[in-house]
A = this chain, B = another copy of it.
Amino acid sequence: MKARGWNAPDLRKRNRAGILNLVHSTRNIARNDLALELGLTRASVTILVNELIDEGLLEEAGTQIAEGRVGRRKIALRIRPEAGRIIGVGIDQERVQVLLTDLAGSVLGVRDLPPPATLARYGDEPAERIVHAVAEATGELLGPASPCKAGVLWMGVGVTGRVDAEHGISVREPRLWNGPVSLADPLALHFGVPTSVDNNVRALALAELLLTEARGSEPAGLLFVKYGPGVGASWTVGGVPWAGAHNRSGELGHTVVAAEGPVCPYCGRVGCLESLVSARTLGIRLARPRSKIEELCHALLEIAPEEFAQLASWFALALGNAIELYDPTTVALYGAPFRSGPLFDEIADRVESNERPCEIKRSNLDPELPALGGAALALERFFLAGGPKPC
């Protein structure tokens, strides 16, 4: 029972957030259309928009062509990119990536650092290592001034494993550290910037909605699937990823798709998708233990095309089951293996043969920029908060 009551300031915050979200996603919208879209009066929108302009978050951008023949022209509004910056962080087994964007979501710079386990030079505590690694990267991206002084408004972190987003804690991720690691508080404290943390796949799903060219055509339900060393998924309802009751939802990789196979070291099942298609499993099969997943997929196609087809079938089976349960508008497949080669088409063909009216597409996100997830998380929370907090 978490339905809380609301008061007038909550209401204003909500309406401000609605305006910021719409301006962001449409990139170009007039006060009048905001009023229509949000169901508010033009008067209210004028008041809120002019306040946002005064605060420097929005700006007017010339006159827009009329839709009707007569009448005063609409004044297009847009996010003022220089209004502030966003730091996105992506943490997984392969690296810690730090990414800087402006408030409109354009990437201003990226830095890659080694994975958490190899950041020993920064200390013993996992959180400490992350803080210092991010500090080093932001130093390069922003200069010596503190992020807060340099105009950073929000920071978002996407990290693998189970994450308690409410408290900003990595609850469980044995591949990175032993035991829970609190991330949001140490980062917020060190950088003086509000910080949000969530699972990396959920964060990337949000990036798919907020930071791609296709944004604005926000699907009612997005099933976002990531194929990296393992397989994970996230599922958004009305633009919000569902974390599950125990922050474990979207474990597409641990759904069972075959009656036989190795015992999965993570879930203990036989025949779960990840036990069949993970980088670990393919690495053993192909005797190339350290290779990246896209190389392994490519090699499998070369060496054993029938096993490659089998892999696509397993994937399609898992996807088909997930589609039956979620009924999404769109399925987005993210990860290097889908970028080149026939894997995406092999999978999509097998799923779409079931004539379900949902679009299966390649993610619009660059798999080399996992920190985009963190940036999207930060942007969403910033909008939700209705604007900046004092530095």
List chain A positions with a Cβ less than 8 A from chain B: 1-8, 10-11, 14-15, 17-18, 21-22, 25, 37-40, 44, 216, 218-221, 233, 235, 237-239, 242-252, 254-259, 267-269, 317, 320-322, 324-329, 354, 356-358
9 residue pairs from A and B, CB less than 8 Å apart? A5-B15, A6-B6, A11-B11, A219-B245, A221-B245, A237-B242, A244-B327, A255-B325, A268-B354
Known: A3-B18, A259-B259, A267-B354. A322 touches B325 (CB 8 A): yes
- Chain B residues near A235: list those with CB within 8 A: 325
The closest CB in chain B to the CB of A38 belongs to B5
- Chain B residues near A247: list those with CB within 8 A: 327
Counting from the closest, the 8 A-B pairs by CB-CB distance are A244-B327, A5-B38, A249-B327, A255-B321, A5-B40, A245-B329, A251-B324, A248-B327
The closest CB in chain B to the CB of A25 belongs to B1
**How far apart are A88's CB and chain B's nearest CB, in angstroms?**
23
Assembled-state Cα–Cα distance A11/B6 (Å): 6
Assembled-state Cα–Cα distance A317/B254 (Å): 11
Task: Please tell me which one of the listed residues B8, B245, B324 contacts residue A11 in the complex, with CB atoms under 8 A apart.
Answer: B8
B7 touches A11 (CB 8 A): yes
- Chain B residues near A255: list those with CB within 8 A: 320-321, 324-325
- Chain B residues near A356: list those with CB within 8 A: 248
Task: Please tell me which one of the listed residues B8, B39, B246, B358 contacts residue A4 in the complex, with CB atoms under 8 A apart.
Answer: B39
- Chain B residues near A259: list those with CB within 8 A: 258-259
Known: A245-B329, A354-B267. A37 touches B1 (CB 8 A): yes
Assembled-state Cα–Cα distance A219/B246 (Å): 12
B6 touches A15 (CB 8 A): yes
Secondary structure at chain A's binding surface: helix, strand, loop or mixed? loop
Known: A237-B237, A249-B327. A269 touches B354 (CB 8 A): yes
A252 touches B354 (CB 8 A): no
**How far apart are A24's CB and chain B's nearest CB, in angstroms?**
11
Assembled-state Cα–Cα distance A21/B5 (Å): 12
- Chain B residues near A328: list those with CB within 8 A: 244-245
- Chain B residues near A321: list those with CB within 8 A: 255-256, 321
The closest CB in chain B to the CB of A255 belongs to B321
Extra A-B contacts (18), CB below 8 Å, given A2-B238, A7-B44, A248-B327: A1-B21, A1-B22, A2-B220, A3-B17, A3-B22, A5-B14, A6-B11, A8-B11, A243-B327, A244-B328, A247-B327, A249-B326, A250-B325, A250-B327, A252-B325, A255-B321, A256-B257, A322-B325
B5 touches A44 (CB 8 A): yes
Assembled-state Cα–Cα distance A233/B324 (Å): 10
Known: A39-B4, A246-B327, A327-B248. A317 touches B18 (CB 8 A): no
B326 touches A325 (CB 8 A): yes
- Chain B residues near A10: list those with CB within 8 A: 11
The closest CB in chain B to the CB of A250 belongs to B325
The closest CB in chain B to the CB of A35 belongs to B5
Task: Please tell me which one of the listed residues B44, B242, B244, B256 contacts residue A317 in the complex, with CB atoms under 8 A apart.
Answer: B256
The closest CB in chain B to the CB of A249 belongs to B327
**How far apart are A208's CB and chain B's nearest CB, in angstroms?**
15
